[in-house]
Each structure stands twice: as structure tokens, then as C-alpha cells.
Homo-oligomer: A and B are copies of this chain.
Amino acid sequence: MIKLGLVGTHWITAQFAQAVLETGKYEISAIYSRNKENAKKFSVKIQQNKASLYDNFDDFIDSGIQVVYLASPNSFHFEHAQIAIKHDVDVIVEKPSFSNPDQFRTIIDLLKLHPKIRLFEAARNYHDPNFKVVQSTVKNLDLLQGANLVYAHYSSRYDEYLAKPDNPPNVFTRDFSGGALYDLGVYPLYDALGWFGYPEKIDYKAQLLKNGIDAFGWINLKYSGFSVGIFISKVFTSTAPTEIFGLKHTIEIDSPSELNQIAVINGHDKQFVADGSGRNPLFNEADDFARVLNDRFSEKNQSEYEKWLKIATQINQLLFDLRKSAGIDFPADNQ
């Protein structure tokens, strides 16, 4: 059993806790929160009363955990990951892992000093079996012309932003490296990189809120011979499907993050090629990470890990270039 420490007490941490328990490969041995009361409440909520509770990050990291799951606000990932690696604790970091390529390079350099330690970006859609179903369906297309990915979902936090625009929730601030691109865009970007490769030219046309954060926008990825659009929003919901366009065939996907229903449309004919497993959507990543952690030096696991780290680095660069093209700066860039 891998001893796991949890950081963050929001819904995503609860969902991840449930997923790791479902794999049967982890035990939740510690929970960290800046506020110990929150950690206590959270341990009750996820029914892990035996987990040790911490409000001091260094003590938490030294508590005997083997791997830490970081679901703190984006801007905290960098500092927390460094502490963990320096203490030889493996890291699972919620996407997007770091605020900019400078930060990521610092982490990569640090990992070189700790060759045993693994750092995973928790890109759950990338670890979903249906991700590969789309990948092979794309390869079998008559001709790849382009794609339009849509991930526009009203965030309940937007109500909080509107109520108190001067005291917005973390995900609606540049201080915490938030916004539509960093919160939602990372899913369709993983899809695009996994299915189509790294683009030649990129652009992001974003609608910014008064505090400079992106509420929604349109990403354009230009490849040789085809191009991909991504429409993201945190301030309204779109019912439009995600579509990949062949010549006469279109691959239709319910959601770029869920990847539950995948169909191939040809005129009036619609064939489903994959359906959701109904499993906790974080199960596959939790299981993949455990496999590598339990046998980190096998050739297969090492090569898979390197592939994941490489795409995480590419996503980090792409997110950075996209937000720069939209004129979005993070305070984390000047640290």
C-alpha cells in the first residue's frame, strides 16, 4: 500500500480520495490544510478518520507519506512540489501543474537531483481508456480536416465572483493562476496534444474580466494541413458537442474532459464506438500512477512516465504561450 498525503479539501480531493481507495493500492495516511478544522471535517467527509491531520506543510511532508496529492490553488503547486521532492516524496499534482515554463524547468532540474522521485500531472482525461479509443479512431479517419473542442461550463464560483468582485474566489484570480484557460482549457489541450500532436502556431482570443482573468475564449491551434479550435468558458454553459472532422466522417465526443460517449457520424448514420465506464473518472490516473510508483525502474514504466512528463511540459508551455497571446499575466511569472 502506498502511503498518500492529501492537500486540498475541495470536491476534487474527495473524488481523488475515493478513486485511490477504489484501486486498492493506496492508503490515505495524512491530510493537510492551512486550517486544521477543515482537515478534520474533510477526513470525516471522506471517512478516513485514521489519517493524521496537519496545518504545517513541512511536518505533513515528513509524516511518513510516500506520495503527496496537490490540489491546492494552482499558484501553490510550485512551492509544495519543491518541498515534497526535496523530502523525497513523490508528487501527484492537479493540472495545471505549474504557472509557467520557468517554474516547470526548476522542478525538472530538482527531479534530476532526486532520480527516484516521480512527479505526475493529474490529467485524468489523458489516462482514460477512451482517450486511446479517440486516438485510434482519429488515425482511421478518411482524412483529418480539423476539430472543434468545446468545454464551456458555468462555474458556481462565478456567482461568488459576481457577488464580491473585489474579493473573488481563487479560480477567478491571476494571483492564484486561475481563469478559464488554466482551469478548463488544460483538458482539451491534453486531448489536442494526444490526438493531433504539438501545433505549429497558436492563438487565444479571450474575454477578460475586470481583474484581468479570462472568463471565456477561443483557442486556435494550427497544424500542417489542418487546424483545431477550442472554445472554453467558466461563465456560461454550451451544449455543443466536441467534433473531429474527417472528410465524410465526424467523430462526436460528449465532453473533452469526460470522454464518456464517443460516436462516428456519417450522414444520418451514427455509430457509438465507446461508452463511459461509469467508474470514478479519476480511477485510471490513480491506478496508472500506482503502477509506476510500485515498479518505477522497469523499462516500460520508466518510458511511460517520461512520456507523461514530456506532455505535461508541453502543456505547460502551450498554456503559457496561449495566455501570453491573450495578454494575461500571472504574478507567479515575476517570482
A239 lies within 8 A of B241 (CB)? yes
Instruction: Report Cα–Cα, A35/B300, bound state, in Å.
Output: 69
A236 touches B231 (CB 8 A): no
Complex CA distance for A226 and B208, rounded to whole angstroms: 9
Min distance, Cβ A33 to any Cβ of chain B, angstroms? 32
Q: Is the Cβ of A243 less than 8 Å from the Cβ of B235?
A: no
**CB <8 Å contact, A229 and B218:** yes
Q: Does A245 contact B (CB under 8 A)?
A: yes
Q: A207 to chain B: which residues have CB within 8 Å? A: 145-146, 226-227
- CB of A203 within 8 A of chain B? yes
Give the shortest distance, in Å, between A60 (CB) and chain B (any CB): 40
Decide yes or no: A145 and B227 within 8 Å by CB, A218-B218, A218-B220 being known contacts.
Answer: no
The residues of B that contact A252 with a CB separation of less than 8 Å are 239
The answer on a CB contact under 8 Å between A238 and B229 is no
The A173-231 residues at the B interface (CB cut-off 8 A) are 203, 205, 207, 215-218, 220, 222, 226-227, 229, 231
Given the complex, which residues of B lie within 8 Å of A241, measured CB to CB? 239-240
Residue in contact with A238 in the complex, picked from B203, B215, B218, B243, CB distance below 8 Å: B243
Instruction: Say whether B229 contacts A148, CB under 8 Å.
Output: no
Interface residue A30 (Cβ < 8 Å from any Cβ of B): no
Return the chain B residue nearest A249 by Cβ.
B236
A237 interfacial by beta-carbon distance below 8 Å: yes
Complex Cα gap A215–B226 (Å)? 10
| A150 on interface, CB distance cutoff 8 Å | yes
The CA of A243 and the CA of B236, in the complex, are separated in Å by 10
Q: Given A145-B215, A236-B245, A239-B243, list of 15 further CB < 8 A pairs?
A: A145-B236, A146-B233, A146-B236, A148-B240, A203-B205, A205-B222, A207-B227, A229-B231, A235-B247, A236-B247, A237-B250, A238-B243, A238-B245, A239-B265, A240-B243
